[in-house]
Amino acid sequence: MNTSHYIGGRWVEGQGSDCINVNEPALGLPFAELMAASVAQVDQAVSAARQALTTWKRVCSQARAAYLRGFAEQLGQRREELIALQMRNNGKPRHEAEIDLDDAIATFAYYADLAEQLPSKNREVPLAAPGFTARTRLEPVGVVGLIVPWNFPLVTSAWKLAPALAAGCTVVLKPSEVTPLIELAYGQIADSLGLPAGVLNIVNGKAETGAALSNHNGLDKLSFTGSNSVGSLVMRSASAQCRPVTLELGGKSAIVVFDDCDPDQAVQWIVAGITWNAGQMCSATSRLLVQEGIADTLLPRLQAALQKLRVGNPLAEDVDMGPLTSQAQWLKVASYFATAREEGLHCLAGGQALDREGWFVSPTLYTDVPKDSRLWTEEIFGPVLCARRFATEEQAIAEANDSRFGLVATVCCADLARAERVADALEVGHVWINSIQAVFVETSWGGTKGSGIGRELGPWGLSAYQSVKHVTRCLG
């Protein structure tokens, strides 16, 4: 692929030093390659966005909404192509790839609606003091850098790109080098819609490209989703510029099962929370806290459910779980299996990489895991579930909150008053009660503690790309 970067409304060849191999994880083999963007090309992309900002921020919100609806419509028109690419490059089963696409479409449609509902740029502010008037304006933040991860490409970029465009920002998007292809669809759609040149720019590359973007002094804001280690570097570069950031980082989330819960329903929620996308989710509920009264009933059923999951190539088989997306992630998860053996953890299911072509591991369950185990405290980013028992509601809340992360949690409980009470006490950004992890564009996404800064989705996602200006005038 010789034209894998979209800069200033043109497709250009990469001029960087890195060659990116794009792999099919179910086979463990590359199927495409592209040259990364150079530092100079990142600079060109930021310059193009800066030049386009002057005009784009003055485009009426109704016109911006029309472009966003165009993105939603064209994503739908390319449905089969994009689903196939998600399955091939990410290893997602078809039902997951379909939901990803529907999520992206819904995001653009939602922010199109919000853009149309934006208040006039001037809103009067009543003042208690006589002799003055005041008005407020909502303005775009400016040029925004968007750095997105490999586990939910197309989706995470939609969560950032749609509200940024709705607010009147121009953007430079850097996809993950693991999954660089699917976001190119956004550039193709921009071309088809006649989106003004420079409003959307896409640069592919590895760490050098990401660093060039996050360190660029031409940005007004940076939004990053990824690991805590890279997020800290992004925040450090932002601090040097005193630049606002949105960071959506890691998680080590809890799922709390009380003994009045139906065990079969609980198993469904637990399995979905740890095996969706092969557990490669910052929101994976990888810490299972199960009340003593239901543990002996629940754990054998959970063991059986995990062992029955069909793991395989989503392009060749009807599967429940596909491979891990990269060899690096496969090696990382395998290293945690080795750590579990060293720590003497009790494994009820899985606990091994699968001996077949591709980057497959087995859905895994460890029980009675000590609180100081690395598997209990560290984000693994794979289908690895660790379980502990608790006696009281207070103990469940304390152990769920005993983490440096605070992204999400799930509560399984027939007593809805208790479920709501526990949800309110959990130190996280999003809680599900008696549910799979259903994420709706109208709700917020983001966490507390080490899970990040700021919120995406809902009206909060739009506000992240808006700046508030007040104008006060003396009448005397």
Q: What is the pLDDT of residue 248?
A: 97
Whether residue 242 is found in the same domain as residue 259: no
pLDDT in tens, 157-212: 999 999 999 999 999 999 999 999 999 999 999 999 999 999 999 999 999 999 99
pLDDT in tens, 111-139: 999 999 887 667 888 999 999 999 999 99
* Spatial CA neighbour of 343 closest among 380, 368, 307: 368
pLDDT in tens, 350-392: 999 999 999 999 999 999 999 999 999 999 999 999 999 999 9
Q: What is the pLDDT of residue 123?
A: 85
Could you tell me the two tokens for 248? 């959506």
Q: What is the pLDDT of residue 470?
A: 93
Q: 119 in a domain, yes or no?
A: yes
Whether residue 60 is found in the same domain as residue 129: yes
Range(s) of the domain holding residue 68: 5-249+451-474
What is the total count of domains within the chain? 2
Whether residue 277 is found in the same domain as residue 422: yes
Whether residue 64 is found in the same domain as residue 133: yes
Could you tell me the two tokens for 238? 């932002």
Whether residue 216 is found in the same domain as residue 265: no
Helix axis angle, 184-193 to 61-77, nearest 10°: 120
Rounded Cα distance, 293 and 284, in Å: 25
Q: Which residues contact 180 (CB under 8 A, 6 or more apart)?
A: 4, 20, 22, 34, 204
Q: What is the pLDDT of residue 187?
A: 97
Per-residue confidence at 420, pLDDT binned at 50, 70, 90? very high
**CATH code, domain with 317:** 3.40.309.10
Whether residue 429 is found in the same domain as residue 456: no
Whether residue 76 is found in the same domain as residue 144: yes
Per-residue confidence at 432, pLDDT binned at 50, 70, 90? very high
Q: What is the pLDDT of residue 476?
A: 80
Backbone angles phi, psi at 460, to 5 degrees: -65, -35
Whether residue 188 is found in the same domain as residue 154: yes
Angle (CA) 157 10 106, round 5°:
25
Q: Which residues form the catalytic set?
A: 248, 282
Rounded Cα distance, 301 and 317, in Å: 25
Q: 419 in a domain, yes or no?
A: yes
Rounded Cα distance, 186 and 70, in Å: 11
pLDDT at 1 over 60: no
Whether the full predicted model's pTM is greater than 0.85, yes or no, is yes
Q: What is the pLDDT of residue 383?
A: 98
Whether residue 243 is found in the same domain as residue 265: no
Task: Residue count of the chain, please give it.
Answer: 476
Q: What is the pLDDT of residue 121?
A: 66
pLDDT at 2 over 70: no
Q: What H or E segment, with its residue span, contains residue 31? A: strand 29-35
DSSP SS3 for 185: helix
